[in-house]
Structure formats: C-alpha cells, structure tokens
Amino acid sequence: MDKKKLDIIERSSLIYLKYGIKSVTMDDLANHLGVSKKTIYKYFEDKNDLIVTMIKRTLEFEEKMCQKIQSHTENALEALIQISRMVVERVNNVNPAIFYDLKKHHNEAWQILEDHKWNFVLTAISRNINRGIEEKYYRDDLNVEVIARLYVSTFDTIMNTDVYKWPDFQFQDLFKEIMRFQFHGLVNENGKNYLKNNFNNEYNV
C-alpha cells in the first residue's frame, strides 16, 4: 500500500476514534492531518470510502494479532486474557459515538464490523472455549454456543451509552469487571488455581 495512503488511514483512525465520525468533517480531517482535501481525495473517493478502508485495515490487524496470540500461548486461559488485554488497549480511549455513527451513516463499514464480530470473533471464542475444556481449565458442562455468543454480545452492551454513560464508565474498567464475572462461570477449580498462581488474583475468582 502507498505509504501516504497508509499514513492517512492510520492518522485518520486516531482522530475518528477520539472524536467520532459524524462530528469530523473532511475539512476538519484535512486540518488535523495537515494535508489538503485534494490529497485525501487522491486516495479515497469520499469519506465513506475512507471509513470502510479504515475499518477493514483495523480488523485485518486484529485478526492477525488474535491468531498469533492463540498459537503462542500456553493454554486457553492465557490466550483469552492476552486477547482481552489487547482489546482493552486498542479501544480503551475510543469514543462510543463512533459505533452509533457507523451504524447510522456508514452502513457498509458497520456491516463489515458486524460480520467480523459474528464470524471471526464468534469462531475464535468458540474454539477457545473448546480448547479450555480439553485442557481442563474450563468447566466441561458449558454450552459453547451460548457462552461464545454471550461473550461477543458483551461488546454491544459495553458500548451502549444508555446503559453505561461515557465517560463516567471507562471501557477498561467495564471490560475487566465483566471478564471477572464471566470467569466465575467459565473456569473450573484447575482454572481458578491457574489464574491465582499466574495473574496474582487480578480476576479474583
């Protein structure tokens, strides 16, 4: 990919994640980036094209990171925690307005995000749960499909500002608390001991 185009995508992502999408016009974006609108339009047809490209690149990166974590971790519990930490790190300072803006004004990008969530993420979590059961860290009576869908739908709840008003509730705190709650129902005694011995009671199960 052209270096200039990549630079626009990456820097635009930071701006949109901080301020939301609708509130940032193309003039605003150009000013933030220190380039002309003509330069932006050289690489992107319009704002929607930029947003779609930004979402695709973000998800491609996250998929690669998740796959790397899954293949380089000792067990399912470690993998789930490392992935969760990655998620928190990447979206902790995200303005939840971006999700509302995507859904209302950028349907193609929103659909890409939804497809990613209910295909890649759902499959990854299902595999993690099955792995954890096989490794005897998770309970063996879990309904994998139900638990995996519960995990994925958690993101919608966290980002719902009617439920958790932003910035009173920060994503990092919410996600950690929900993960702690989910671990109570997910792990068996062996899993509890592993968490206690390796994560210093961080998840308090």
**Local confidence pLDDT in tens for the 205 residues of the chain:** 789 999 999 999 999 988 999 999 999 999 999 999 999 999 999 999 999 999 999 999 999 999 999 999 999 999 998 998 888 888 777 888 888 899 999 999 999 999 999 999 999 999 999 999 999 999 999 999 999 999 899 888 887 878 888 778 887 788 888 888 888 899 999 999 998 888 765 655 5
Region for 63 from its dihedrals, namely left if φ exceeds 0, alpha if ψ lies in -120 to 50, beta otherwise: alpha
pLDDT, residue 203, reads: 58
Q: How far apart are CA 78 and CA 95, in angstroms?
A: 28
How many whole angstroms separate alpha carbon 149 and alpha carbon 205?
Answer: 22
Please report the pLDDT score of residue 198 as a whole number.
Answer: 82
pLDDT score, position 199? 75
- Find the length of the chain: 205
**pLDDT the model gives residue 202:** 61
Question: What does the pLDDT read at residue 162?
Answer: 83
- What ranges in 34-121 are assigned the alpha helix state H? 37-43, 47-71, 76-91, 97-105, 107-115
Please return the burial class of 122, using the count of CB atoms within 10 Å of its CB with bins 0-12, 13-18 and 19+: middle
Q: Which fold has domain 55-198?
A: Tetracycline Repressor; domain 2 (1.10.357)
For the chain, what are the domain ranges? 55-198
Cα(173)–Cα(204) distance, integer angstroms: 14
